[in-house]
A and B are shown apart, each in its own frame.
Chain A
Amino acid sequence: MLPPNFQRKVGSTPTPLFFLGLILVVLVFAPMARAQDAGVVDGGGAAGDAPGTPRVVSPRLLERARPAYPADGGGRRVDVELLLTLNELGAVTHTEVLGHIPADAPESFDHAARAACASLRFEPARREGVPIPVRLRFHLAIAPPVVAHADAEVPELHDDEPGAGAEGLTHAHDQAHPPVNAGAADAGAADAGAATDATAAPEAGVPAPEGPAAEAVVRGGTRDRTASHYDLELGALRNVPRLTGAEVLSLAPGVMLSNEGTEGHAQHVFLRGFTGENGQDIAFSVDGIPLNEESNIHGQGYVDLYFLVPELVSRLDVTEGTADPRQGNFAVAGSIDYHLALPTRGLTVRSTLGRFNYQRLVALYGPGGHPDETFAAVDLVHSDGFGPSRGFDRASAVAQWVTEAGRSGLLRLLATVYATRFVSPGVVREDDLDAGRVDFFGAYPEAGRQGGLSSRALVAAAYDWRRAGERAELRVFGQARDLSLTENFTGYLLRAHEGDLIEQRYGGGTVGANGYYQRTAELFHRTHAVELGWFTRHDRYALAQRRLQALTSEPSRLRDNGDVSADVRATHVGLYLDLTARLLPRLTLRGGARLDALAYDVSADVFRAVDQRTERVNRNALGVHVGPKATAELHLGRGVTLLGSLGSGFRSPDALTLADGESAPFVSVLGQELGARWTLGNEPLARARLAVSTAAYHTLVGNDLLFDPTVGRSVPIGASRRLGAVLWLRARPRPWLDVNASLTYTRATVENDALGSTVPAGSLLPYVPAVVARLDVGLERDLGRWRSWAVRARGGLGASFYGPRPLPLDERSEPVFLVDLSAALRVGALELGASAKNLLDARWRDAQLNTASNFNPGTASSFFPVRHFTAGSPLTFFLTLGVYL
């Protein structure tokens, strides 16, 4: 459907071929969707309905059940059949157990099922758009081995225990299947105001939202090591406009994204006073597979998240701080784990057109009868960009398959292939902008063609195993990765005639495995737990950097001291131990330690000036880091929990900076945090209708670096400190409304006089935003029916505020306020949506730098650093047509 050639000039319009293809899709598939959607005999209603009988829409499950596995369960699976009574709000008001299989299962399964169903939430049944009470048959399978917490005195659920409380492997059939009763729906209950004896038959004309009998494989449980742990289920918040999987990160409190290039170039992820250049200060992963790149030539810890299709991101597991022993390399500010799933089953095809010739086609497939974590997706994107030299093309394919493996296991297979090619405008000098020599969205053509190509092929397999009191996970992964970047941020500063364009290349592969083993034990009538985890990773990459001639992009005729040609082999082995002790009914202590060893073998070309020869030199180094972690959790009751934590995080050094035989030095940080959390109704955080948390944190970096322009490189400055506070709220006041909001304050300072006392102790570290605020609002609501088609609306609002940032020379950036908005209406199988990014058309600076440059070849260069910036995206609107099959 896409035009055969992705390359488009700025301002060009999509080819007629694209529109024809779009129309073709609609014409071909719409009747099929209509046929499925109707399912209604002409002139009639549901099968067996008398003519004129009001149509009843079945209730729709919003929140699944997570039963606690009974202590006397014996390790077997029991299926419990229940009859639920729902009121007009979709809440369960009465639960009746009809039976269970096997028949000799203990009654504790009935109790567990009944208790779990009390927390179910439904979109209420409706008759002609009016909510009505109904009774509904519900099937709940409770599978082993989930050990419920044994401490009955503490009503709160400890989600992080192996299978505790809310965890379990369950299968919940979609509420529309099987039908409760054949025959006409009795709508008299609502009319007569009687108690809920009415029985609702599912509307035969209602499209099965999940296709055939859907099974949801629920693997729950989170690890609350700090008050700043956020289990962010996207839900309706996925309707907030996001063009990439990386933009989902804005949901995490305190995260600010910045990009000095175009889509395709890794973003800087600011968090807790760390600038996170190219993602280096956060340990990123997707379902446990590490994504940070070891010794990437562009930046240690480089993370490319553009392979993630945003529609597939179902949950973010965010741990801010360093208190979790599972956090390994690069977890300096925290860690973020993406979880992928596709809640909408069947085939979904969306086509988007937007300003600046933005074109996107995404196809998503979730086979019915399989869990949400089984899916396949293809994503194709093109854009000319909002200014010169900002175009990009991207293709991504992701597939995952999840299935039960054995009695107690779950197998997950993931594969993804991705490539993107992009052009970058480089930076603009503020004084050139002030003098009118360049436009705000302009670029310096003399700087040369900048941009790059990034590709990835990733395969992974994970096995999750559970048994009574035990749980284990094993994950293996392999990746091939290539990155090519050209950039010129200084123009003709160093080379007055050839220019300073450089090319960087990074290519190779990574293999690794990780996992853990958990076990609970009863001691002094309380449940305790121990976890042993391990991590291995081996990277083999070729690194290269060389100068290019800016105007021709041909290799420079001259050698440069910065030229690099090297091979890096890095091996990482990590081990951690984590203990959980419930010493008192309301007090839980967690503590552990992590040990990581990294070995480097570097082979690099070294130029010998004495004889003008280049020879290969080998060097190797090894470093070990030990990081203690501890958390204390105090349950005050009424859903309030206090948490105090501390931990040591680390980041490995860039292999090219190591000397032979050196004990590889790490970036080591020590963090502490104290906070509180409250959830309404004492519900688990991920599903609470209202949850609020607040925390104060402190992080100390033992020996930090600061760029000293007078010497032209980063120099040690001793210790630096980061203090801050965060406030977070998640609310679901209505089943169709979801709100996520956060406010973060950070103060990052140097501890000692630095840069020859030019930067006295207590000075602010530059570029760190003091205030970051974010609001996300998502909604999804059924609007009833129009003719025979179900009508559904969804929308989203996202607002970001970044306070003024301190810049070098005691300057301040301007505050930034951005608003994104989307709305979509679905009728039957067709959906039309509109969205806007930067709705207020704010003119804002994305990345800001302080460096010397000269973009006028042949003229004298100023060596004094001045402000440079990359322009942020202006108002961009999109139209999307979707087809659901």
Chain B
Amino acid sequence: MCLGVSLGMCLVALSGVRCAGSTGDHRLRFQGAVTGSGAAGVTALGWTLALERFVVAWGPTRVYSDAPIARARTRPRSLLAGLSVGTAWAQHCHGCPRAPVAELGFERGGSVLRAVDLLAPSPSPLGAANARNGLYRSVSFAFPGGSAVPDGGVVGAMLGGHSMVVRGTATRGAVSIPFEGSLDFNTQGGEDGAPTRPYTVYGVAFDRPEGLHLEATQEATDRVVVRVELARFFDQADFGSLPEPSEPGRPRAITAASQVATAWRLGVRDPRSYRVGWTGAGGSGEPRPGPQPAPDAGP
């Protein structure tokens, strides 16, 4: 009996024991925000844009530890890649995708898709990040179908079920072309063409090309800010190729098959269309405007 009582007391005492030490990796807490480069901009083909509306269905934003110029892989190269052997540890993801060091757009396990007005005077919040310490080096953005965005209020209404909506005027020389249009990102197809996931852009540098190693954050003040260079989206667009509107006075429509729409998609995919800044320790602060594109020889 004495033995049992002694052991019981030991167990009660042990229940309060917390093993000293850490597994090394730990959570970080910070916020995210996205903003546009402004209503005015100049494309590489010399078109000066004056934007009146630019609304985007914004999906998950993820930060990875790999190099930004590398095309991100969603799966490891090979399950048979055995570099060495060790005692191995619990992991049950067969063919796991790479995990990000930070992820915005998920709250309490569920995805949060947002309708974002990139012409808003202040950055639009992306919510709190699920994040851990590590090397922050490259960023990806996912653009879902607009219909996937839940009721987003006024901004959501402007989306009208599309992934991106734009309206503005493009001017070059004496030519001024009002335009409007939308992009619909069918989710990227799998091997059988069936949609699998939102359209994702990879390889954007986090604050600087070599990345930033984050070990601690100030939750109240530290945040990652994404700046979308709106004019870059249309670097290769020739607005003059847009067909005349059916009704006079109406803007020219960016149709799905138009050259402008194709250029727009290319612009969305181009990592140079985005700049990511870190406002915390070691960061460069909110992203500054990028260099103006070298004007191409236009018509």
Residues of A at the B interface (CB closer than 8 Å) are 260, 268, 274-275, 277, 280-281, 332, 427, 429, 431-432, 434-435, 437, 487, 489-490, 493-497, 500, 502, 545, 557-562, 564, 651, 653-654, 656-659, 665-667, 669, 701, 703-707, 709-717, 720, 729, 731, 739, 741, 743, 747, 749-750, 754-760, 762-767, 770-771, 773, 775, 777, 799, 801, 803-810, 812, 815, 817, 849-853, 856, 859-866
Query: Which residues of B sit under 8 angstroms from A496, Cβ to Cβ?
Result: 190, 195-197
Cα of A309 to Cα of B135 in the assembled complex, Å? 52
A-B contact pairs, 9 of them (CB 8 A): A435-B108, A487-B92, A495-B190, A497-B196, A654-B85, A667-B86, A804-B17, A852-B99, A860-B144
**What per-residue 1/0 map shows which CB atoms of B51-66 lie under 8 Å from chain A?**
0000000011010111
Is the beta-carbon distance between A862 and B130 smaller than 8 angstroms?
A: yes
Nearest A residue to B197, CB-CB = A496
Query: Which residues of A sit under 8 angstroms from B106, Cβ to Cβ?
Result: 860, 862, 864
Query: Which residues of A sit under 8 angstroms from B60, Cβ to Cβ?
Result: 860, 862
Query: Which residues of B sit under 8 angstroms from A861, Cβ to Cβ?
Result: 111, 197
Is the beta-carbon distance between A562 and B94 smaller than 8 angstroms?
A: yes
Is the beta-carbon distance between B90 and A277 smaller than 8 angstroms?
A: yes
CB under 8 Å from chain A, chain B span 12-59: 14-15, 17-19, 21-27, 59
Nearest A residue to B134, CB-CB = A758
Is the beta-carbon distance between A817 and B15 smaller than 8 angstroms?
A: yes
- From known contacts A747-B21, A770-B17, infer whether A862 and B109 are also in contact, taking CB-CB under 8 Å: yes
Is the beta-carbon distance between A851 and B109 smaller than 8 angstroms?
A: no
Nearest B residue to A500, CB-CB = B94
Cα of A712 to Cα of B257 in the assembled complex, Å? 39
Cα of A426 to Cα of B94 in the assembled complex, Å? 14
Is the beta-carbon distance between B23 and A658 smaller than 8 angstroms?
A: no
- From known contacts A561-B78, A860-B144, infer whether A804 and B19 are also in contact, taking CB-CB under 8 Å: yes
Cα of A809 to Cα of B29 in the assembled complex, Å? 12
Cα of A665 to Cα of B84 in the assembled complex, Å? 7
Cα of A767 to Cα of B135 in the assembled complex, Å? 24
- From known contacts A496-B196, A558-B190, infer whether A806 and B23 are also in contact, taking CB-CB under 8 Å: yes
Is the beta-carbon distance between B96 and A709 smaller than 8 angstroms?
A: yes
CB under 8 Å from chain A, chain B span 209-268: 213
Whether, in the assembled complex, B113 has its beta carbon less than 8 Å from a beta carbon of chain A, the answer is yes
Cα of A731 to Cα of B3 in the assembled complex, Å? 10
Whether, in the assembled complex, B98 has its beta carbon less than 8 Å from a beta carbon of chain A, the answer is yes
Cα of A773 to Cα of B4 in the assembled complex, Å? 13
Is the beta-carbon distance between A701 and B75 smaller than 8 angstroms?
A: no
Query: Which residues of B sit under 8 angstroms from A810, Cβ to Cβ?
Result: 22-27
- From known contacts A561-B95, A731-B3, A803-B14, infer whether A760 and B85 are also in contact, taking CB-CB under 8 Å: no
Query: Which residues of A sit under 8 angstroms from B135, Cβ to Cβ?
Result: 756, 758
Is the beta-carbon distance between B96 and A712 smaller than 8 angstroms?
A: yes
6 A-B pairs besides A561-B78, A806-B22, A864-B102 with CB distance below 8 A are A497-B194, A558-B190, A562-B94, A657-B82, A716-B83, A810-B27
Is the beta-carbon distance between B11 and A755 smaller than 8 angstroms?
A: no
Cα of A651 to Cα of B84 in the assembled complex, Å? 13
Partner of A747, one of B19, B130, B148: B19
Nearest B residue to A669, CB-CB = B87
- From known contacts A332-B87, A665-B85, infer whether A852 and B93 are also in contact, taking CB-CB under 8 Å: yes
Chain B's interface: helix, strand, loop or mixed, by majority? loop
Query: Which residues of B sit under 8 angstroms from A651, Cβ to Cβ?
Result: 85, 87
Nearest B residue to A300, CB-CB = B88
CB under 8 Å from chain A, chain B span 133-174: 133-135, 142, 144, 148
Query: Which residues of A sit under 8 angstroms from B102, Cβ to Cβ?
Result: 864
Report B21 CB to chain A, min CB distance, Å: 5
Is the beta-carbon distance between A865 and B22 smaller than 8 angstroms?
A: no
10 pairs of A and B residues whose beta carbons are closest in the complex: A657-B82, A705-B86, A763-B24, A759-B24, A709-B99, A431-B109, A712-B96, A770-B19, A860-B111, A704-B86
Partner of B85, one of A434, A493, A705: A705
Whether, in the assembled complex, B76 has its beta carbon less than 8 Å from a beta carbon of chain A, the answer is yes
- From known contacts A741-B3, A756-B65, A851-B93, infer whether A716 and B24 are also in contact, taking CB-CB under 8 Å: no
Report A424 CB to chain B, min CB distance, Å: 12
Is the beta-carbon distance between B79 and A562 smaller than 8 angstroms?
A: yes
Query: Which residues of A sit under 8 angstroms from B197, Cβ to Cβ?
Result: 496, 860-861
Cα of A801 to Cα of B15 in the assembled complex, Å? 8
Is the beta-carbon distance between A667 and B85 smaller than 8 angstroms?
A: yes
Report A86 CB to chain B, min CB distance, Å: 27
Cα of A827 to Cα of B86 in the assembled complex, Å? 55
Is the beta-carbon distance between B82 and A863 smaller than 8 angstroms?
A: no
Whether, in the assembled complex, B132 has its beta carbon less than 8 Å from a beta carbon of chain A, the answer is yes
Is the beta-carbon distance between B109 and A714 smaller than 8 angstroms?
A: no
Whether, in the assembled complex, B10 has its beta carbon less than 8 Å from a beta carbon of chain A, the answer is yes
Partner of B21, one of A545, A707, A762: A762
Whether, in the assembled complex, B204 has its beta carbon less than 8 Å from a beta carbon of chain A, the answer is no
Query: Which residues of A sit under 8 angstroms from B75, Cβ to Cβ?
Result: 494, 561, 712
Partner of B89, one of A659, A706, A804, A805: A706
Query: Which residues of A sit under 8 angstroms from B110, Cβ to Cβ?
Result: 435, 856, 859
Whether, in the assembled complex, B287 has its beta carbon less than 8 Å from a beta carbon of chain A, the answer is no
Is the beta-carbon distance between A863 and B94 smaller than 8 angstroms?
A: no
Query: Which residues of A sit under 8 angstroms from B78, Cβ to Cβ?
Result: 561
Nearest B residue to A741, CB-CB = B7
Whether, in the assembled complex, B100 has its beta carbon less than 8 Å from a beta carbon of chain A, the answer is yes
Query: Which residues of A sit under 8 angstroms from B130, Cβ to Cβ?
Result: 862, 864, 866
Cα of A332 to Cα of B86 in the assembled complex, Å? 11
Cα of A414 to Cα of B182 in the assembled complex, Å? 75
Cα of A850 to Cα of B92 in the assembled complex, Å? 9
Is the beta-carbon distance between B97 and A852 smaller than 8 angstroms?
A: yes
Partner of A657, one of B80, B89, B94: B80
- From known contacts A561-B95, A709-B96, infer whether A704 and B87 are also in contact, taking CB-CB under 8 Å: yes
Partner of B76, one of A432, A712, A807: A712
Query: Which residues of B sit under 8 angstroms from A489, Cβ to Cβ?
Result: 92-93
Cα of A775 to Cα of B11 in the assembled complex, Å? 10
Is the beta-carbon distance between B82 and A754 smaller than 8 angstroms?
A: no
Whether, in the assembled complex, B117 has its beta carbon less than 8 Å from a beta carbon of chain A, the answer is no
Partner of A710, one of B22, B79, B134, B194: B134
Is the beta-carbon distance between A705 and B95 smaller than 8 angstroms?
A: no
Nearest A residue to B65, CB-CB = A710
Is the beta-carbon distance between B22 and A764 smaller than 8 angstroms?
A: yes
- From known contacts A763-B23, A849-B92, A863-B99, infer whether A801 and B84 are also in contact, taking CB-CB under 8 Å: no
Query: Which residues of B sit under 8 angstroms from A862, Cβ to Cβ?
Result: 60, 103, 106, 109, 111, 130
Query: Which residues of A sit under 8 angstroms from B98, Cβ to Cβ?
Result: 709-712, 863
Is the beta-carbon distance between A817 and B19 smaller than 8 angstroms?
A: no
- From known contacts A557-B192, A712-B98, A717-B86, infer whether A801 and B24 are also in contact, taking CB-CB under 8 Å: no
Is the beta-carbon distance between A765 and B94 smaller than 8 angstroms?
A: no
Query: Which residues of A sit under 8 angstroms from B85, Cβ to Cβ?
Result: 651, 653-654, 657, 665-667, 703, 705
Cα of A654 to Cα of B84 in the assembled complex, Å? 11
Cα of A799 to Cα of B10 in the assembled complex, Å? 12
Cα of A750 to Cα of B106 in the assembled complex, Å? 32
Cα of A749 to Cα of B21 in the assembled complex, Å? 9
Cα of A671 to Cα of B208 in the assembled complex, Å? 46
Cα of A706 to Cα of B66 in the assembled complex, Å? 18
Report B82 CB to chain A, min CB distance, Å: 3
Cα of A773 to Cα of B17 in the assembled complex, Å? 13
Is the beta-carbon distance between B27 and A494 smaller than 8 angstroms?
A: no
Is the beta-carbon distance between B86 and A804 smaller than 8 angstroms?
A: no
- From known contacts A431-B108, A755-B25, A759-B25, infer whether A771 and B14 are also in contact, taking CB-CB under 8 Å: yes
Nearest A residue to B103, CB-CB = A864
Query: Which residues of A sit under 8 angstroms from B86, Cβ to Cβ?
Result: 667, 701, 703-706, 714, 716-717, 720
Query: Which residues of A sit under 8 angstroms from B23, Cβ to Cβ?
Result: 759, 763-766, 806-810
Report A509 CB to chain B, min CB distance, Å: 24
Cα of A809 to Cα of B23 in the assembled complex, Å? 7
Nearest B residue to A756, CB-CB = B135
Query: Which residues of A sit under 8 angstroms from B113, Cβ to Cβ?
Result: 860
Query: Which residues of A sit under 8 angstroms from B191, Cβ to Cβ?
Result: 558-559
Report A736 CB to chain B, min CB distance, Å: 15
- From known contacts A657-B85, A658-B82, A705-B86, infer whether A860 and B17 are also in contact, taking CB-CB under 8 Å: no
